[in-house]
């Protein structure tokens, strides 16, 4: 559900490695880990229950190192990015921030995030390569520590699939056939909906199909939103909407909740966090859903995209970058911390070892009928293909909302909507002055 | 005004108080008005003029990115001249947004003010029972926050959760889709009318109550029916209130934001820049281009000024003509 975007507020040039860090570095050259006095850090995050997790730190490792972290609860996604950039403009960004992966290029390009490769470089092995690579932006720097991920999966009403004699699709081809078969048997039901209000879903589907929306060569960006892979995805969903075999209403609104709750929609292409959403959106269907890997584009493939997920980053405005990086590494790799994050924050950890331990030994309550939920999820998470984000994801996403929203409503050509998205993204980059190659 | 009187008292009546010298007194008196103006001026400058000035300043700036735009020093704020303004004028979305709001205003303003006037006249007529209760009931929606109202109506508009649709379905009546195409304008307007009628009614009603009863008595003696009294006496006499409510309504219409923003997640028919203010919000907080947003906000402010004061002037001129004729 996290969306994203972010911003291009200005920043003036210089990063500030202010007072304390510099002093600490000079004063205690012998011990790089400790700073000269008690350190207090501010952390902007939207994860629920984060204050409890941070308490663990403040009473444990933090107490020992005299590093106190204070949580300031924030709105999620793009709203926070704007806020961080605004604060950074005044050189007052907090020490630590939560940021979605696709927001990292934006934050980095505004010089808001510090390179913490020296401090956290050794935690790399705890994460899947595709996840870690998103925090380095393909450079030698490290701009964040991965926190949670959202590998995509297919959710379906096991009871209704059985009732209508439907088979769980393993390819998109079968997915389309399933949608048609259901429509034939129960004309008032839909397999799922194509929702234009969460760009992250579409981005994840394109990623699974092999799309790389932003790449760099030399000092130029290449934008490939309208590439063959994405076009395949757009045409596929556009066709289903046009034929009326899936719904075209947006997700996360009362009508959608009702459709999910009453079994009018019997499937959902979603991510590992879906149980949480279903618990609130479709409370009456507890224990009736099942999770399967995402359908594939060809039989011999086994890949998935990601939808959502975020990281913990240290800002360039922080006067205690080392301490902040130490906390970020602890938060996202420590066994107890991750367990608390899973229990209190409901996140699915990026750290591979945590995906099968502690809080994840039992399935989510909503999926008690699927005991191996998290074993399966961890297996699927491994098949996540790397994603590539650019500096104006927000513009691409906003353009997706409008262009695909209109196309879904009119049941018109999704290819044309995709072209609009590509053109709007490129035009925005050119306008800002980015080097863009065709 | 009070200061003028104060000054006069020194000159005319001499010095009832013990003054050091008439010259100093006069100087002090000259300074006094500025002194009294000071708090208001400072507040105005700090919280009004300065932010507006800054917004206008921002509207002439832009960010220039070089190369990949990664790393320190890749972004610079530079002068943009009128670029943000020319872009805003060429942006078809902004124009379409303005046209959509125009359509919306053409529904909201007449319906809302018409209803407000009607209710006010009805409440003012002697035959109404339970007037205070009725007045409160009509006014109440105004006290409900716009976002809450929009959410509530949003639920009522959604076929699968709306009780209205449930009834329509049971009665086998047609079930129009209110969140699409033309009906969408009605749906959004309805929320504004529902929320705004009460306020405007109170304004008109208050001014109706201030009409001296002798006027009605005279009219009745001349044989005027209640309808004639309403049309020929009451409405012309509350014309200034109507002008005022019209003025407020134009401003509120141009600033429409809450209703479409709240309804947006419910339908594909509302885009991120449905109204000009939504476009400003989108640019500032989603695209992060505060410069373009500042330019658009300035344009909207100018349009609001021109439209609302243009209307006031026209209305005043007419009143004067009528008074003269």
Per-residue 3-state assignment (H helix, E strand, C coil) for chain A? CCCCCCCCCCCCCCCCCCHHHHHHHHHCCCCCCCCCCCEEEEEEECCCCHHHHHHHHHHCHHHHHCEEEEEEECCCCHHHHHHHHHHHHCCCCCCEEEEEHHHHHHHHHCCCECCCHHHHHHHHHHECHHHHHHHHCCCCCCCCEEEEEEEEEEEEEHHHHHHCCCCCCCEHHHHHHHHHHHHHHCCCCECCECCCCCHHHHHHHHHHCCCCCEEEECCEEEECCCCHHHHHHHHHHHHHHHCCCCECCCCCCHHHHHHHHHCCECEEEEECCHHHHHHHHCHHHCCCEEEEECCECCCCCCCECEEEEEEEEEECCCCCHHHHHHHHHHHHHCHHHHHHHHHHHCCCECEHHHHHCHHHCCCCHHHCCCCCHHHHHHHHHHCECCCCCCCCHHHHHHHHHHHHHHHHHHCCCHHHHHHHHHHHHHHHHHHHCCCEEC
The secondary structure element, H or E, covering residue B159 is none
d(CA B63, CA B75): 6
Collect all residues of chain A within an 8 Å Cβ-Cβ radius of residue B268.
196, 248-250, 405-406, 408-409
Beta strand A214-217 with A67-73 is unpaired
- Which one of A219, A220, A394 has the shortest CB-CB distance to B286? A394
- Which one of B69, B71, B158 has the shortest CB-CB distance to A434? B69
Q: Which pLDDT does position B323 carry in this prediction?
A: 66
Bridge partners, A97 (sequence order): A44, A313
Which one is predicted more confidently, B325 or A370?
A370
Question: For tokens 């009780």, what's the residue?
Answer: B163
- Contact: A108, B71; criterion CB under 8 Å: yes
How does pLDDT run across A297-329, given as a tens digit for each residue? Answer: 999 999 999 998 999 999 999 999 999 999 999
Instruction: Answer yes or no: are the C-beta atoms of A274 and A348 closer than 8 Å.
Output: no
Bridge partners, A134 (sequence order): none
**Residue A17 main-chain phi, psi, to 5 deg:** -105, 90
> Residue length, chain B?
325
Instruction: Check if A78 contacts B (Cβ < 8 Å).
Output: yes
d(CA B224, CA B220): 5
Confidence of residue B325 (pLDDT cuts 50, 70, 90): low
Q: Which pLDDT does position B245 carry in this prediction?
A: 93
- In chain B, the residue whose alpha carbon lies closest to the alpha carbon of A390 is B68
- Contact: A111, B265; criterion CB under 8 Å: no
Mean of the pLDDT values across residues A144-152?
A: 95
Confidence of residue B60 (pLDDT cuts 50, 70, 90): very high
Smallest Cα–Cα separation from B203: which of B151, B159, B154, B240? B240
**Residue B163 main-chain phi, psi, to 5 deg:** -65, -30
Work out the minimum CA distance from A221 to partner chain B, whole angstroms. Answer: 6
Q: Which pLDDT does position A5 carry in this prediction?
A: 31
Domains and CATH numbers, chain B: 2-51 (no CATH), 91-324 (1.10.3720.10)
Collect all residues of chain A within an 8 Å Cβ-Cβ radius of residue B267.
250, 409
Q: Which pLDDT does position A209 carry in this prediction?
A: 95
Q: Please give the share of chain A, as a percent, with pLDDT higher than 90.
A: 66
Confidence of residue B195 (pLDDT cuts 50, 70, 90): very high
- In chain A, the residue whose alpha carbon lies closest to the alpha carbon of B282 is A398
- Contact: A13, B76; criterion CB under 8 Å: yes
- In chain A, the residue whose alpha carbon lies closest to the alpha carbon of B87 is A431
Confidence of residue A8 (pLDDT cuts 50, 70, 90): very low
d(CA A76, CA A83): 11
Do A19-149+308-367 and A151-305+387-437 come out as alike in CATH topology? yes
How does pLDDT run across B292-301, given as a tens digit for each residue? Answer: 999 999 999 9
At B192, is the secondary structure helix, strand, or coil?
Answer: helix
Q: Which pLDDT does position A265 carry in this prediction?
A: 95
Which residues of B sit within 8 Å Cβ distance of A? 63-77, 154-155, 158-161, 180, 265-269, 271-273, 282, 284-290
d(CA A77, CA B285): 11
Collect all residues of chain A within an 8 Å Cβ-Cβ radius of residue B155.
254
d(CA A354, CA A377): 12
- Name residues 167-226 of chain A within 8 A of B (Cβ): 196-197, 216, 219-221
Instruction: Answer yes or no: are the C-beta atoms of A18 and A44 closer than 8 Å.
Output: no
d(CA A58, CA A67): 7
Q: Which pLDDT does position A263 carry in this prediction?
A: 94
Beta-sheet strand order (sheet of A220-223): A214-217, A220-223, A436-437
Residue B71 has pLDDT above 80, yes or no: no
* E strands, chain B, in order: 61-65, 75-79
Mean of the pLDDT values across residues A228-243?
A: 96
Across all residues in chain B, what is the average pLDDT?
86
Instruction: Check if A97 contacts B (Cβ < 8 Å).
Output: no
Mean of the pLDDT values across residues B131-143?
A: 89
Class of A151-305+387-437 per CATH? alpha beta
Collect all residues of chain B within an 8 Å Cβ-Cβ radius of residue A254.
154-155, 158, 160-161, 266
Question: Of the ranges A79-88, A342-351, B192-201, which is most confident?
Answer: B192-201
Q: Which residues make Cβ contacts (< 8 Å) with residue A346, sequence separation at least 6?
A: A48, A49, A273, A276
- In chain A, the residue whose alpha carbon lies closest to the alpha carbon of B155 is A254
Question: For tokens 């190369």, what's the residue?
Answer: B67
Mean of the pLDDT values across residues B198-226?
A: 91
Angle, helices A228-242/A199-208, rounded to nearest 10 degrees: 120
- Name residues 335-364 of chain A within 8 A of B (Cβ): none
- Contact: B288, A6; criterion CB under 8 Å: yes
- Contact: B77, A137; criterion CB under 8 Å: no
Q: Which residues make Cβ contacts (< 8 Å) with residue B243, sequence separation at least 6?
A: B312, B315, B319
ipTM, two decimals: 0.76
Q: Which pLDDT does position B174 carry in this prediction?
A: 83
Instruction: Check if A141 contacts B (Cβ < 8 Å).
Output: no
How does pLDDT run across B8-50, given as a tens digit for each residue? Answer: 444 444 445 555 566 666 767 788 888 889 999 999 999 999 9
Work out the minimum CA distance from B272 to partner chain A, whole angstroms. Answer: 7
Domain residue limits, chain A: 19-149+308-367, 151-305+387-437
**What distances in angstroms separate CA A280 from CA A210, B48, B158, B194, one per listed residue?**
33, 44, 19, 31
Instruction: Quickly list DSSP for B228-242.
Output: HIIIIIIHHHTHHHH
CA neighbours closer than 13 Å in the CB half-sphere of residue A26: 6
Residue A416 has pLDDT above 90, yes or no: yes
**What distances in angstroms separate CA B133 from CA B129, B138, B143, one per listed residue?**
9, 9, 15
Alpha helices in B210-289 (DSSP H): 213-221, 226-228, 235-237, 239-254, 258-263, 276-281
- Which one of B76, B268, B285 has the shortest CB-CB distance to A406? B268
Confidence of residue B64 (pLDDT cuts 50, 70, 90): confident
Q: Exposure string (b/e) for B52-80, b if CB count within 10 Å is 16 or more?
A: eeebeebbbbbbbbeebbbbeebbebeeb
Mean of the pLDDT values across residues B229-234?
A: 90
d(CA A275, CA A288): 12
Instruction: Answer yes or no: are the C-beta atoms of B324 and B316 closer than 8 Å.
Output: no
Collect all residues of chain A within an 8 Å Cβ-Cβ radius of residue B69.
109, 391, 432-434
Q: Which pLDDT does position A36 carry in this prediction?
A: 59
Architecture of domain A19-149+308-367: 3-Layer(aba) Sandwich (3.40)
Mean of the pLDDT values across residues B84-110?
A: 93
């Amino acid at each position: 559900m996290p969306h994203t975007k972010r911003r291009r507020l200005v920043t003036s040039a210089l990063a500030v490695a202010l007072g304390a860090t510099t002093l600490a570095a000079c004063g205690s050259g012998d011990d790089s880990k400790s700073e000269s006095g008690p350190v207090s850090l501010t952390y902007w995050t939207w994860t629920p229950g984060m204050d409890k997790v941070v308490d663990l730190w403040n009473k444990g490792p933090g107490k020992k190192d005299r590093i106190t972290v204070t949580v300031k609860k924030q709105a999620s996604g793009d709203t926070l990015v704007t806020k961080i950039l605004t604060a950074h403009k005044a050189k007052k960004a907090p020490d630590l921030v939560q940021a979605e992966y696709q927001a990292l290029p934006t934050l980095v390009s505004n010089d808001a995030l510090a390179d913490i490769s020296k401090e956290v470089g050794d935690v790399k092995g705890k994460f899947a390569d595709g996840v870690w690579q998103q925090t380095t932006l393909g450079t030698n720097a490290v701009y964040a520590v991965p926190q949670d991920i959202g590998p995509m999966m297919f959710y379906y009403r096991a009871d209704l699939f059985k009732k209508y004699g439907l088979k769980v699709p393993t390819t998109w081809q079968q997915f389309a056939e399933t949608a048609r078969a259901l429509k034939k048997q129960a004309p008032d039901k839909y397999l799922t909906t194509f929702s234009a209000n969460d760009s992250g879903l579409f981005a994840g589907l394109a990623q699974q199909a092999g799309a790389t929306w932003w790449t760099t060569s030399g000092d130029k960006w290449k934008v490939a939103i309208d590439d063959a892979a994405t076009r395949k995805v757009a045409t596929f969903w556009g066709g289903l909407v046009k034929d009326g075999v899936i719904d075209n209403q947006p997700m996360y609104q009362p009508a959608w909740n009702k459709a999910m709750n009453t079994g009018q929609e019997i499937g959902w292409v979603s991510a590992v966090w879906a149980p949480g959403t279903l618990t609130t959106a479709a409370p009456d269907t507890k224990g009736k859903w099942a999770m399967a890997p995402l359908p594939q584009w060809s039989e011999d493939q086994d890949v998935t995209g990601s939808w959502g997920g975020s990281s913990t980053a240290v800002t360039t405005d922080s006067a205690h970058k080392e301490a902040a990086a130490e906390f970020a590494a602890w938060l996202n790799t420590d066994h107890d911390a991750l367990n608390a994050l899973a229990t209190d924050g409901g996140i699915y950890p990026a750290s591979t070892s945590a995906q099968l331990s502690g809080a994840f030994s039992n399935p989510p309550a909503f999926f008690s009928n699927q005991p191996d939920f998290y074993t399966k999820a961890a297996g699927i998470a491994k098949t996540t293909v790397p994603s590539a984000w650019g500096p104006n994801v927000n513009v691409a996403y906003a353009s997706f909302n409008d262009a695909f929203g209109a196309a879904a409503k009119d049941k018109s050509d999704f290819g044309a909507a995709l072209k609009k998205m590509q053109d709007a993204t490129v035009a925005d980059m050119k306008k800002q002055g980015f080097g863009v190659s065709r | 005004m009070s200061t003028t009187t104060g000054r006069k008292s020194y000159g005319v009546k001499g010095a009832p108080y013990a003054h050091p010298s008439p010259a100093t007194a006069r100087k002090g008196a000259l300074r006094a008005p500025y002194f009294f103006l000071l708090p208001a001026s400072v507040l105005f400058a700090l919280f009004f003029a300065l932010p507006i000035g800054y917004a206008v300043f921002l509207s002439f700036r832009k960010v220039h990115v070089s190369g990949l735009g990664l790393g320190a020093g890749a972004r610079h704020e530079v002068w943009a001249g009128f670029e943000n303004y020319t872009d805003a004028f060429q942006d078809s979305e902004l124009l379409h947004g303005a046209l959509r709001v125009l359509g919306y205003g053409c529904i909201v303003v007449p319906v809302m003010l018409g209803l407000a006037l009607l209710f006010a006249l009805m409440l003012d007529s002697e035959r109404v029972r339970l007037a205070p209760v009725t007045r409160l009931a009509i006014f109440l929606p105004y006290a409900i926050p716009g976002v809450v109202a929009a959410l509530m109506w949003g639920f009522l508009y959604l076929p699968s959760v709306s009780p209205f649709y449930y009834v329509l379905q049971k009665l086998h009546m047609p079930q129009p889709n209110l969140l699409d195409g033309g009906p969408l304008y009605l749906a959004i307007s309805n929320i504004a009318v529902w929320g705004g009628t009460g306020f405007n009614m109170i304004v008109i009603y208050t001014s109706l109550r201030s009409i001296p009863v002798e006027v009605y008595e005279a009219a009745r003696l001349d044989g005027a029916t209640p309808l004639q009294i309403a049309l020929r006496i009451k409405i012309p006499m509350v014309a200034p209130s109507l002008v005022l409510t019209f003025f407020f309504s134009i401003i509120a219409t141009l600033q429409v934001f809450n209703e479409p923003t709240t309804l947006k997640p419910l339908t594909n028919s509302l885009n991120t820049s449905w109204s000009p203010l939504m476009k400003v919000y989108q640019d500032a907080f989603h695209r992060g281009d505060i410069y373009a947003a500042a330019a658009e906000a300035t344009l909207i402010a100018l349009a609001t000024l021109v439209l609302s004061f243009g209307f006031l002037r026209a209305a005043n001129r007419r009143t004067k003509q009528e008074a003269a004729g």
